[in-house]
Amino acid sequence: MNQHDSDTGRRRGGPTLPETSAKAPGPDFIRSIIIADREADKNRGRVHTRFPPEPNGYLHIGHAKSIVLNFGIAEEFGGKCNLRFDDTNPAKEEVEYVESIMADVRWLGYDWEDRLFYASDYFDRLYEFAEELVRGGRAYVDSLSPEEVREHRGTLTEPGRDSPYRNRPIEENLELLRRMRAGEFGEGEHVLRARIDMSSPNINLRDPAIYRIKHAPHHRTGEAWCIYPMYDYAHPLSDALEGITHSICTLEFENNRPLYDWFLDNVEAGCHPQQIEFARLNLSYTVLSKRKLLTLVTKGHVRGWDDPRMPTISGLRRRGYTPEAIRAFCERVGVAKVNSTVDIALLEYFVREDLNQRAPRVMGVLRPLKLVIENYPEGQQEELEAVNNPEDPSAGTRLVPFSRVLYIEQEDFREDPPKKWFRLSPGREVRLKHAYYVTCTSVLRDPANGEILELRCSYDPETRGGWSEDGRKVLGTLHWVSAAHALEAEVRLYDRLFDRENPSEDPEGRDFTEFLNPGSLEVLAGCRVEPSLAGAPAGRGYQFLRHGYFCVDPDSEEGRLVFNRTVTLKDSWARIEKSEAR
Ligand code: ATP
Ligand code: MG
């Protein structure tokens, strides 16, 4: 085994990226638009973007793409980016979500400074714009039932039909709108609609709703309103009120752009932001929809929004992903005009790349097997120097205690090894990392069930540090801990949450929860880690030699360490395993 490979997590031959990640050189299409706008002195060269989450769930890696894009563009062009909560729907929104979203954006490394806004801050202004539309004959109160409104809408191939209320006099519309606002009607009795074109080939333009009656308190405005603006109406006007120049959104809003523009063209909003659409991020083996993620949480398929298997920012953070890795991933994925699915392995690649640079190396034994060194004096112990990070000499070294009784990994011993077995077996000599050469002399079994209880070994005192003066070679290097000094730990190993690449699209129409991977979490109790990990704070990341990257879970308590495996060392390890098994 090539120890260097497992130490660094690097694949032999250097890293290669999945083909899907090839990024075209030069600015992407959004940046090209902005560069051209600046050259034409549009908006006097100003660049102002926004990230507009709806506070109805936790942010996920798809949102990270939008955050990196919006804040990144503002940074690059000397502009600004606002954080705006798009909180126009009182029913599904909660303060918990608002707080988690702010924490996640900050954690990703972005700062909205004093530009934290809520669409609900604009409810008065939005209402005034609505009266303005009514006064101009551009909006009317419709009294058809929701059912009838649907029937009048037409289809993709048939035009819609005008509502009998479409030509109400302006004064009557104004009065009804005010009474709607005053709470005189029940939900669904009336709706305020834009008066555009019921025969438009774009269904979004067939007199879309602007305000609906909803007798529900709002998490910020309380009982002040019983009519709430629709997203398609509130969004362009909120953008304009904030002086946004480039309103970047995902592709599914492409057909809403004419409506976005229509609202801005028909009220005095002071400026006209430009909507630009890009393809949303899809990841293999994952779902990225707040509705589906909420289902996973409420149905108990995961432990919460921050379960380390979740693609939420809080889940990835708990898993040990770093903001740097997520940002690098988002930048590499780039923006496109066509929807596609990115291989989750690419995200993992960036996580490894980042952790390889900075995660201290430690030794942890996941499935311990006792090893007794018979020629090592009882009661003796010593401290051996170990390099903290071969990728980063400034990380220094630490001392690791060594003694007569150790634990090694169960899978590092085979009594009856296959050909090309480089680890321990009877009569075989291996190196204990940072320590000594040891040779297995005998195996102690439980007479009752034949299980291996412990290995008996001898060591060569001349090989301190793991090197032999006489040039004698050993093929295997094992990690280990000293039994008396090691700390007990629980380790949680994760696999993909879904066992198929695209759980959301089943040709047979089965629900995505049918494709949950039953083996996505494996909990190992009784693991042993080196004592330097005592008191490691939640969130701290390490490389456990040969096992991958791990981080301390917040479930850890005084005297009880819990680790999440962030990501394996993967390719290097999988290939080595394979060649050894041959
Ligand atoms: P979801 O589909 O998960 O519910 P959403 O679009 O409804 O997401 P919002 O809170 O409205 O969630 O999203 C805030 C911003 O993040 C929007 O500008 C949206 O376009 C963007 N966004 C959401 N999901 C993705 C994604 N998968 N890839 C890129 N951007 C996304
Ligand atoms: Mg949305």
Write the DSSP assignment of 314-359 as a string of letters.
Answer: HHHHHHT--HHHHHHHHHHH---SS-EEE-HHHHHHHHHHHHHHHP
Question: Model confidence over 310-355: pLDDT tens digits?
Answer: 999 999 999 999 999 999 999 999 999 998 899 999 999 999 999 9
CA atoms within 13 A on the CB side of 334: 16
Token couple for 462: 């001349």
φ, ψ of residue 556 in degrees (nearest 5): -60, 145
Residue 91: pLDDT band by 50, 70, 90 thresholds? confident
Question: What does the pLDDT average to over 539-564?
Answer: 96
Instruction: Let me know if 354 is exposed, middle or buried by CB neighbors in 10 A (0-12, 13-18, 19+).
Output: buried
Ligand at shortest distance from the CA of 289: 1
Which residue's alpha carbon is at the smallest distance from atom 23 of ligand 1?
Answer: 63
Per-residue DSSP letter, 92 = T
Q: CA nearest 437: which of 449, 427, 428, 429?
A: 429
Question: Residue 490 has what pLDDT?
Answer: 98
Token representation of residue 422: 């480089």
What's this model's pTM, rounded to 2 decimal places?
0.92
Rounded Cα–Cα distance for residues 253 and 146 (Å): 23
Cβ(250) – ligand 1 distance below 6 Å:
yes
CB 66 less than 6 A from any atom of ligand 1: yes
Minimum-distance ligand 1 atom for the alpha carbon of 281: 28
Residue 434 CB partners (closer than 8 Å, separation 6+): 384, 385, 386, 387, 400, 465, 466
What is the percent of the chain where pLDDT is above 70?
A: 94
Ligand 1 site, residue 236, Cβ cutoff 6 A: no
- Chain centroid to CA 576: how far? 30
Q: Which of 60, 280, 281, 310 to mutate to test the pocket of ligand 1 (most atoms within 8 A of CB)?
A: 280
Interval between CA 53 and ligand 2 midpoint (Å): 7
Please name the residue whose Cα sits nearest to atom 4 of ligand 1: 290
Distance from residue 158's CA to the centre of ligand 2 (Å): 28
Is the shortest distance between the CB of 320 and ligand 1 below 6 Å? no
What is the mean pLDDT of the segment spanning 284-293?
96
3-state DSSP call for residue 462? helix
Cβ pair 435, 480 in contact under 8 A: yes
d(CA 434, CA 402): 10
- Say whether pLDDT at 478 is over 80: yes
Q: Answer whether residue 94 shows pLDDT above 90.
A: no
Residue 574 binned pLDDT confidence (cut-offs 50, 70, 90): very low
Closest CA to 18 of 494, 310, 322, 348: 348
- Which residue owns the Cα nearest ligand 1 atom 10? 53
Q: Please tell me the residue having the least CA distance from ligand 1 atom 25.
A: 62
CB of 280 sitting under 6 A from ligand 1? yes
Contacts of 451 (CB under 8 A, 6+ apart): 445
Q: Cα–Cα distance between 70 and 536 in angstroms, integer?
A: 35
**Per-residue DSSP letter, 302:** S
- Helix axes of 29-39 and 61-76: crossing angle, nearest 10 degrees: 30
Measure 159 CA to ligand 1 centroid, in angstroms.
31
**3-state class of 413 per DSSP?**
strand
Residue 399 main-chain phi, psi, to 5 deg: -105, 135
Q: What is the DSSP letter of 490?
A: E
When pLDDT is averaged across residues 350-374 and rounded to a whole number, the result is 97
Nearest alpha carbon to residue 478 among 466, 468, 486: 466
Is residue 54 annotated as a catalytic residue, yes or no?
yes
Q: SS3 sequence, 463-487?
A: HCCCCCCCCCCCCCEECCEECCCCE
Listing DSSP states for 195-217 in one string gives: -S-TT-SSGGGSS-EEEEE----
Please give the structure tokens belonging to residue 155: 């289809």
Rounded mean pLDDT, 161-186: 98
Most confidently predicted of 8-17, 88-97, 558-567 = 558-567
- Distance, CA 60 to ligand 1 centroid (Å)? 9
pLDDT, tens only, 35-76: 999 999 999 999 999 999 999 999 999 999 999 999 999 999
311 lines ligand 1 (CB under 6 A): no
Q: Render pLDDT for 228-280 as a digit per residue (tens, 0 to 9).
A: 999 999 999 999 999 999 999 999 999 999 999 999 999 999 999 999 999 99
How far apart, in whole angstroms, are the C-alpha atoms of residue 287 and residue 335?
A: 19
Q: Is 55's C-beta closer than 6 angstroms to any atom of ligand 1?
A: no
What is the pLDDT at residue 474? Answer: 94
For residue 365 the two structure tokens come to: 């034994």
Catalytic residue among 65, 206, 290, 361: 290
pLDDT of residue 186: 98
512 C-alpha to center of ligand 2: Å?
Answer: 20
Q: Which of 166, 280, 303, 496 is catalytic?
A: 280
Orientation of helix 61-76 relative to helix 323-333, angle to 10°: 80
Mean local confidence (pLDDT), 107-135: 98
| Predicted confidence band of residue 580 (pLDDT cuts 50, 70, 90) | very low
Closest by Cα among 288, 315, 290 to 304: 315
Q: Given a cut of 80, is residue 426 above it in pLDDT?
A: yes
Ligand closest to CA 342 = 1
CA 228 – CA 218 distance, rounded (Å): 10
Tokens of 401: 């205690």
pLDDT of residue 576: 40
- The reply to whether ligand 1 has any atom less than 6 angstroms from the CB of 53 is yes
295 CB near ligand 1 (under 6 Å): no
Whole-angstrom distance, CA of residue 293 vs CA of residue 297 = 6
Counting ligands in written order, the one closest to the CA of 249 is 1
Determine the residue of 66, 101, 275, 329 to mutate for testing ligand 1's pocket, defined as the one with the most ligand atoms within 8 A of the Cβ atom. 66
Rounded Cα–Cα distance for residues 96 and 233 (Å): 26
CA 454, CA 490: separation in Å to the nearest integer? Answer: 22
**Which ligand lies nearest to the CA atom of residue 252 in the structure?**
1
Q: Which of 180, 175, 206, 183 is nearest to 193 (CA)?
A: 206
Question: Which distant-in-sequence residues (6+ apart) come within 8 Å of 502 by Cβ?
Answer: 284, 341
Atom number, ligand 1, closest to the C-alpha of residue 280: 28
Nearest C-alpha to atom 13 of ligand 1 is from which residue? Answer: 53
Q: If you count them, how many residues does the chain have? A: 582
Residue environment code for 406-428, b if the CB has 16+ CB neighbours within 10 A, otherwise e: bbbbeebbeeeeeeebbbbbbeb
How far is the centre of ligand 2, averaged over its atoms, from the C-alpha of 86 (Å)? 8
**Residue % of the chain over a pLDDT of 90:** 90
**CB neighbourhood size of 361 (10 A):** 24
Concatenating the DSSP letter of every residue in 114-148 gives T-EEEGGGGHHHHHHHHHHHHHTTSEEEE-S-HHH
Q: Does residue 84's CB lie within 6 angstroms of at least one atom of ligand 1?
A: no
Residues with Cβ within 8 Å of 87's Cβ and at least 6 positions away in sequence, in order, are: 54, 55, 93, 98, 118, 119, 120, 218, 219, 220
Report pLDDT for 24. 62
Examine the residue annotation and report whether 290 is marked as an active-site residue of this protein: yes
63 closest CA partner among 384, 261, 283: 283
Buried b (16+ CB within 10 A) or exposed e, 166-182: eebeeeebbebbeebbe
